[in-house]
Structure formats: structure tokens, C-alpha cells
A and B are shown apart, each in its own frame.
Chain A
């Protein structure tokens, strides 16, 4: 599988705080990468660097072997942990605005709003939406234009089982279409059926990265991704304590 995204020595520091430290990561096209780690591990910072929201202190990110210009990010779909829209505008107006900013036709909007179950509330003001609906609106916008990369920051937070199932189905369909998915989450049971690769970030460092099948093979007695994650996190902490 050819490398689609390449992160080389990616570092982000805020003063003395190291949010990301020398991250090297190669993601192939069509990969579903689950980015795991505790709060403050640097997952959102990594996504921020990828999306051009945060300037890295060092290192670089390449897409298909080239640095990513601002305009190329129109080919990405992004669903933030906290989806923010213009509250005084309607669902349709918000969606149309962001889709047009990407230089895309709004033709696909109806399909995507229907897909996430928001077509019937398209004329409702965004301030009247629940958090779950807002999340779905963010997803509908991200899905427009068949993005080659979907970046989802904690997409499973606060979803009821039915919505969770819908979201998993949509993400599976997008991956089958050929999209690469980067998903950061604490809900490991939700991402496990989708993920092909797993990266574990701990205190800004990449503690583990590989195919999910390889991780499972390395931990044959672990019954779930969550167990593997906790084991790796424990090993990492123990190694750091030895160093200290």
C-alpha cells in the first residue's frame, strides 16, 4: 500500500510543554487509523497540525509525497470534537456555506443531510440543535465532495447506540469508497470494528503504531483493543519510571 500521509519528526511545543514530540507516522491510502491516548496526549494537536490549524514547531507533514497547501485541505473532511457552527443560521445555510468554501457543489448536500438524518430539520436554526445533531451536521459537511481523507476527533462521544451504529455504517461505507480515515477516540469498542491501524499517543510521544492485526498477534491473550491499549500504556509508564 503506497504512503498517503507521512508525518516526519512532527513536534509541537508550547513553551516548555511538549504537546507532540518527534512523531513519525506513515498512513496508506484507504487506512482506518485509530488514534488512541488519554486526555492531553496530543491527539487533537496532531489533527490540528494536519489540518493547518496549528503550526508545528518542527517536522513536516506530506500528502502523496508533497507538503500540504491550504487549498488542498478542501479535499479533507473534518469533524471536530466540539462541532461549531453559526447559531443564527439554519442547518442548510451552515452546510451550504462550508461546502462552498471548499469549492464544492452543493448538489451533494441533500444526500449527505439525508444520510445523517438531518434533511427534515434543514430549515431549523443551528442554535436549536442538540449536541448529537450538531455532530451529525459536522459529519454531513465533512462527507460532501467525497473527501479523500476524513479526520474525526472523538466522533463517538455522547452518541446513543442507534446513532453509533449509523455512524459506524457511514464510516465503513466511506472507507469502502476509498477514503482514508483518522479517528481519535476514547471509545475503543466503537472504533475497533473499523480500524485497520492503531497509533497510541502518550504524553506527546508515539508509544505504539501498527496494524491492528499485528497488535493483536503481539498480545494474543488480550480480548480487546482496550486491553491492548491499557497494557501498552502501563508498560510505557513503567519504562518512564525506570528512567526517572
Chain B
């Protein structure tokens, strides 16, 4: 709150080699924190965060309870089964959440002209973007962590399952995927002139990542490589859910019954396609070990780093060249 004291002072952040310079460095960090906290506070006030927590809790709870309905089973499943049921939900919803959070981070303030005020206050555009990204990341993380955390606890209590590693991996990789798409959304936001344009681009990106990429990749593999490669990518991507060979529960059951796995245990080089799409990378990471699909940790780390660094780098480059 504003206090009654009326003693003003100025802190010049630009001077180097003095106590004021130290204050300047603090000032830069504080600017990033202020932008991030404001971003999160705005979403919290708008009810976005609470709505997301409720959606996640409902989605995870219902998926865990009804996930095996089509196989004639009902009731709270263990972690591994819940992960299989949740894969599709997370791969569709989390990128969408990330993009919907990111698409208006910059363009809305640019439209409202508050961005001029912020930059004129001595905040560099790079720090502004970093603050926006961190604030968006916090807004995305709170509902996901709460949703997965509460639902995970309920599953543990209801199903007496202690093998929570797959569920934890799903939560962490899901959150990571969301943050990558938040970065993509931020990039869209810096390139767009209006909010509507940014929203359309965000939705097109989502369709591309979740549906179109897999179909195109599959088409290219079928026409240029072996049927084995095509089967693999179809199994990982499961783009249309029309192919029974991509039914994860069947594959999981088959492996459990000591039958032959649906796909080869030695994946072909075609799996490098996965690095081109964070959604496929996420899905491949969370497939049960028995299916034989393995993404090397180095590939995962490298792809995630690039998918984070490239959109953020492009956003900084673009915003620094944009007249406000």
C-alpha cells in the first residue's frame, strides 16, 4: 500500500561502478519479477487459474474412473493405467492451454498501448518478455501442479497403488510441454498485430502440432520409408485414433499377457521425427516401457531446449525491432 511518507527519491539504474549500479541490477531483476507477478495476478483475478485447477481435477478424476469403460471396466485405475488414459487428454489440452496463455501476452498490451508505458518506464523489451514468459509459466504451472497433485493423491488412496513414477513423469513432461507451447504462443504474440490474428495463429499452431504434423509425417514415412517406420510413428502419434494397432490399452494388455509387443523393441531412425513436434516427443516419453518406444534422454533434452530457446529468441529479436 502507499504509505503516508512523502519523501521521494530517484534511483538511476544506468550508472555503473557505484552503489546505485547495484541497485540498478536489483532493479532489472525486480522489473522481471514485477511483470511476472502482475501477469499471474491478472489471471488469478480473472478466475483463469481456479477454472484450470477445476478442469484438471475433473478431467484427471473422470479419466481415471472411466478410462477403461470401452473395455468393460469401471472404477479408479492405478497410476500406469491412468497415464495411458490421460495421454490423449494431456496431449490435446496442455498445448492448447500453453498457446491460449501465450498468444495475448504481448499483443493485448500492444493493442491497449500499455506496452508503451511499460517500456517508457525503463523496462527493456527483453526483460519485459522474460517477465511475461515467467508469469505465463507460473499461471500454467499452478493449475497443472495442483491438478496432478490432488488427483495423484486421490488415485493413490483409492487404488492403493504406490508406483507413481509414470504419473509423475506424465505430470512433469506435460508441464514441460505446456511451457514449450507457452513460448510458441509468446512468439505468435510478438508477431501479431491484433489479438484476433494472434488467436487464429495460435489455434492453427495447435491444429498443426496435434493433428496435421502426425498425418503429414506418417504420409511422408509411408511414401519414403518402410512400413515398419510408418507403424512406429502411427503408434507414437495416434493422430486419428482409427487404427486399432495404436490402441495403447490393447498394446499394454498384450504385453502384460506376454504376447508380442505391438511395435518392434528396437525403434528405427524414423523416431527422430519426434523431435520436430513437442507433442509427439511428450507422447513417446510417456508410452509404457513394454511397448519398446524409447526416446534417448539426450534427444529429449536437446529438442526441449531448442523448442524453448528458438521461440523465445525469435520473440526477443522481433520485439526489439518493433516500434511501439
The interface of chain A, by Cβ under 8 A from chain B, is: 48, 51-55, 68-76, 78, 80, 82-86, 88, 92, 95-98, 100-111, 113, 122, 144-148
Contacts and interface: CB of A to CB of B under 8 A. Distances in A.
Nearest to B5: A107
Contacts of A108: 6-9
Given A84-B114, A101-B123, A71 B324 contact: no
B120 A52 contact: yes
Nearest to A84: B113
Q: Which of A106, A108, A113 has the most CB of B within 10 A?
A: A108
Interface residues of B, number: 41
Interface in B26-83: 26-28, 30-31, 34-35, 38, 42, 45
A27 B105 CA distance: 37
Nearest to A52: B119
B10 A147 contact: yes
Interface of B: 1-14, 23-24, 26-28, 30-31, 34-35, 38, 42, 45, 112-114, 116-124, 321, 323-324
Nearest to A105: B9
A111 B6 contact: yes
B14 A69 contact: yes
Given A106-B3, A110-B6, A111-B6, A80 B113 contact: yes
A157 to B, nearest CB: 16
B101 to A, nearest CB: 17
B122 A102 contact: yes
A107 B3 contact: yes
Contacts of A72: 12-14, 122
A-B CB proximity, top 8 nearest: A74-B122, A108-B8, A71-B13, A103-B27, A72-B14, A111-B6, A84-B113, A70-B124
Contact of A110 (B2, B13, B42): B2
Nearest to A85: B114
Q: Which of A98, A100, A103, A106 has the most CB of B within 10 A?
A: A103
A186 B112 CA distance: 24
Given A71-B24, A71-B27, A72-B12, A101 B2 contact: no
B2 A98 contact: no
Contacts of A80: 113, 116-117, 120
A14 B112 CA distance: 22
Q: Which of B34, B123, B324 has the most CB of A within 10 A?
A: B123
Nearest to B124: A70
Given A95-B2, A146-B10, 8 more contacts: A72-B14, A74-B11, A74-B122, A80-B113, A84-B113, A103-B26, A105-B8, A107-B9
A239 to B, nearest CB: 30
Contacts, number: 138
Contact of B11 (A88, A92, A103): A103
Contact of A144 (B8, B23, B42, B123): B8
A53 B120 contact: yes
A111 to B, nearest CB: 4
Contacts of B5: 107, 110
Contacts of A51: 116, 119-120
Contact of B12 (A53, A74, A98): A74
B323 A71 contact: no
A71 B2 contact: no
Nearest to A103: B27
Contacts of B2: 92, 95-96, 106-107, 109-110, 113, 122
Contacts of A48: 323-324
B126 to A, nearest CB: 9
A101 B8 contact: no
Q: Which of B10, B117, B118 has the most CB of A within 10 A?
A: B117
A86 B31 CA distance: 17
A123 B70 CA distance: 55
16 contacts: A51-B119, A68-B14, A70-B123, A71-B14, A74-B121, A74-B122, A78-B117, A84-B112, A98-B117, A101-B118, A101-B122, A103-B27, A104-B10, A107-B5, A108-B8, A146-B10
A18 to B, nearest CB: 15
B28 to A, nearest CB: 7
Given A101-B31, A107-B3, A75 B12 contact: yes
Nearest to A73: B122
B97 to A, nearest CB: 22
Contacts of B121: 73-74, 78, 98, 101-102
